[in-house]
Amino acid sequence: MSAHLPILQVVVPLLAAPFCLFLKRGRAAWGLAVLASWAALAIALALLGQVMQEGVLSYAIGDWAPPIGIEYRVDVVNAWVLVIVSGIGAVVAPYAMASIEREVEAGRIPLFYAAYLLCLSGLLGITITGDMFNVFVFLEISSLSAYALIALGQARRALTSAFRYLIMGSVGATFIVIGIGLLYVMTGSLNMADLAQLLPEVWDSRTVKVAYGFLAVGFCLKLALFPLHLWLPNAYTYAPSAVTAFMASTATKVAVYMLLRFFLTVFGAPFSFDVMALDRVLLPLALVAIASMSLVAIFQVNVKRLLAYSSVAQIGYMILGLSFATVTGLTATLLHLFNHALMKGALFMAMGCVMYRIGSVHINAMAGLGRRMPWTMAAFVAGGLSLVGVPLTVGFVSKWYLILGALERGWWPVAILVLLTSLLALVYIWRVVEAAYFRDFPGDESTREAPWTLLGPTWALVALNLYFGIDAGRTVEIARQAAEVLMAGIGP
């Protein structure tokens, strides 16, 4: 059975999704979703273990040997991303029960879990496949279900923000498929490993460079790199809380993975950095994203929107690591994929608890909440400290490697900017803390702490934030190995 793990990673949630539609009761669909997402996590962990021991795994779908057939190819890089995505999926699924029952009408709850599992399997599929066209197919599966998930939000604006995301996401996906098509025209292959061998012969052709450009814009739209991030804040603000927690920790991470996979494995680091100057294009965009979006976040009054802008800034950190074009920089990027998923997951889930009890995440509505909902707000503070990068949290580990990478290149101003923008994060987190702990509670006296079904998963993520902040050896080791694999490439 263990030989089939790569395909089961995708098929388990994919097959569970339609069964959710046949279950009329929301709780039954929820149970199935929890089981499927936990199974996905178990498979991802098993795959990571296998890859660390045996090296690259390859699975030929339909017994058609690659490069003719579709190949699922697992190395340290995507095994790592699989663990991140399925891990968040497994934590959000149990959390969703109470949160979704409050925010989504009863008849639609089985539909919600079907879309949730489809989105999960789409994201896992993008990550695991070694076939470029398969990437596009799974991208559409995950995106279409994501639009539906966002549109389930309570506010009417959820519909317009989902529609906006649909337009921008479709433009991004179209650009990606155009790029894939151009590469296919030039090489006659869709298999990534095969392309890595074939592409160096046609590096000089304009078609390949145009394909590179199309792919770059498509990926940057999907991962919401400044200035292509405009779909993100509204989508995260108006989606149901559980959806926001899931999407913020997975969707953009997978887009970053796609960018790394295409530009470093398929095209190869020499082509990306020496010919196309990817690092010099991304560096200014990343810096502007970090600085401007952190500033914008400070002035938000809706805490979910504040965290959404902070997400755009954090994506800037990931891209900044890539733009160093060194192993240390990439290690920081890959570490931050994991670490940011942990902290943003915890923060958005804490906001889901607030939404559950007081029905709003406006900063003024949260006044004095620290005494009413001590555990929820403590989780928010812990996640916030991690976001700022305080020692003993995962945020510190990411920032540490990011600054190491900057110093390695001798880029002092960049290192200082990373430190300064961490202070900006402190400012916007502090605004919430100030409201919650230093203002009087004006609201209803009966407001109580969120139920443990919400607090449990939230605190599980907080605990992981602290655990991997104290004992970062494991995660750093995997991220470094993955970075080395990416930088070395598999070309001739």
Partner 1 sequence: MREEVIVRVGAKVLAPFIITFGLYVHFHGDYSPGGGFQAGVILAAAIALLALVYGLDAVQKVVTPRFVRACAALGVIIFAGVGVVTMVLGHNYLGYNALAHDPEHGQHYGILGVELGVLVTVFGVMVTVFYLFAGRRRRKQ
- Among 294, 291, 289, 442, smallest CA distance to 362 is for 442
Site membership for partner 1, residue 63 (CB under 8 A): yes
Instruction: Write down the least CB distance from residue 120 to partner 1, Å.
Output: 15
Minimum separation from the CB atom of position 173 to partner 1 (A): 19
- What is the spatial distance between Cα 211 and Cα 391, in angstroms, rounded to a whole number? 42
- Check whether the bond before 227 is cis (ω within 30° of 0): yes
Q: Which is nearer to partner 1, 110 or 172 (CB)?
A: 110
Residues 95 and 89: their CA atoms lie apart, in Å, by 10
Angstrom distances, CA of residue 362 to CA of 167, 239, 370 = 28, 15, 15
In the region spanning residues 192 to 221, those forming contacts with partner 1, defined by CB under 8 A, are none
Please give the structure tokens belonging to residue 394: 């995962």
Residue 17 binds partner 1, judged by CB under 8 A: yes
Q: CA 66, CA 131: separation in Å to the nearest integer?
A: 9
Cβ distance to partner 1 smaller for residue 59 or 175: 59
Q: Shortest distance, CB of residue 306 to partner 1, whole angstroms? A: 36
What are the backbone angles phi and psi of residue 189, rounded to the nearest 5°? -135, 150
Look-up: residue for tokens 């891990």? 87
Q: Does 39 bind partner 1 (CB under 8 A)?
A: no
How many binding residues for partner 1 (CB under 8 A)?
16
| Residue choice 28, 42, 56, 61 for contact with partner 1 (CB under 8 A) | 61
Q: Decide if residue 7 touches partner 1 (CB under 8 A).
A: yes
Q: Whose structure tokens read 């940057």?
A: 220
Q: Does 68 bind partner 1 (CB under 8 A)?
A: no
Q: Output the DSSP codes for 283-345.
A: HHHHHHHHHHHHHHHHT-SBHHHHHHHHHHHHHHHHHHHHHT-SHHHHHHHHHHHHHHHHHHH
Asked whether position 46 contacts partner 1 by CB under 8 A, the answer is no
Q: Is 463 in the site for partner 1 (CB under 8 A)?
A: no
Distance separating alpha carbons of residues 264 and 249, to the nearest angstrom:
23
Q: Which stretch binds partner 1 (CB under 8 A): 49-57, 61-69, 340-348, 354-362?
A: 61-69
Q: Under the criterion CB under 8 A, does residue 21 sit at the interface with partner 1? A: yes
Does 114 engage in binding with partner 1 (CB under 8 A)?
Answer: yes
Count Cβ atoms below 10 Å from residue 470 Cβ, excluding itself.
14
Check: CB of residue 301 under 8 Å from CB of residue 363.
yes
Rounded Cα distance between 59 and 67, Å, is: 11
Which residue's CB is nearer to partner 1, number 166 or number 349?
166
Q: Shortest Cβ distance from residue 59 to partner 1 (Å)?
A: 7
Q: Is 163 near partner 1 (CB under 8 A)?
A: no
- Is residue 59 at the binding interface for partner 1, with CB under 8 A as the rule? yes
For the CB of residue 22, give the shortest distance to partner 1 in the complex, in Å: 6
Q: How far is the CB of 73 from partner 1 (least distance, A)?
A: 14
Q: Is 4 in the site for partner 1 (CB under 8 A)?
A: yes
By CB under 8 A, which span of 3-11, 145-153, 224-232, 327-335 interacts with partner 1?
Answer: 3-11
The two beta strands, 57-60 and 71-74, are: antiparallel
Please tell me whether residue 159 binds partner 1 under the rule CB under 8 A.
no
Of 11-19, 73-81, 338-346, 373-381, which segment contacts partner 1 by CB under 8 A?
A: 11-19
Note the residues at the interface with partner 1 (CB under 8 A): 4, 7, 11, 14-15, 17-19, 21-22, 59-63, 114
